[in-house]
């Protein structure tokens, strides 16, 4: 399970994605991320890997649309998630 700080970062990043990128793919990806976040409270095995993968997919979308103001925080979020999982 990730820390509250990481969940707050996820909330900020997904909100920023919705604000910056107005397309169905982004909305679908944010929905997937939020569904995995909901699973975290149930301690579903593997949810952390799935939410991390979903963050990567959102990062790829941001890069494809040259949304650096979104890609940079998503990349930092991914690094924080990796560090949390490693410890």
Q: Which domain holds residue 26?
A: 4-86
What is the phi/psi pair of residue 31, to 5°? -60, -45
The count of domains in the chain is 1
The answer to whether 50 and 36 have CB atoms below 8 angstroms apart is: yes
pTM: 0.89
One digit per residue, pLDDT tens: the chain, 87 residues? 788 899 999 999 999 999 999 899 999 999 999 998 888 878 778 888 899 999 999 999 999 999 999 999 999 999 999 999 888
Give the whole-angstrom CA distance, residue 28 versus residue 6.
Answer: 21
Give the whole-angstrom CA distance, residue 43 versus residue 57.
Answer: 23
């Amino acid at each position: 399970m990730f820390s509250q700080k990481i969940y707050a970062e996820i909330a900020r990043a997904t909100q920023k994605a919705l604000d910056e990128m107005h397309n169905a793919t982004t909305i679908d990806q944010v929905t997937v991320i939020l569904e995995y976040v909901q699973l975290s409270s149930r301690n579903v095995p593997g949810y952390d890997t799935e939410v991390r993968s979903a963050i990567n997919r959102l990062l790829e979308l941001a890069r494809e649309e040259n949304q650096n103001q979104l890609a940079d925080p998503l990349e930092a979020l991914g690094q924080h998630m990796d560090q949390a999982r490693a410890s």
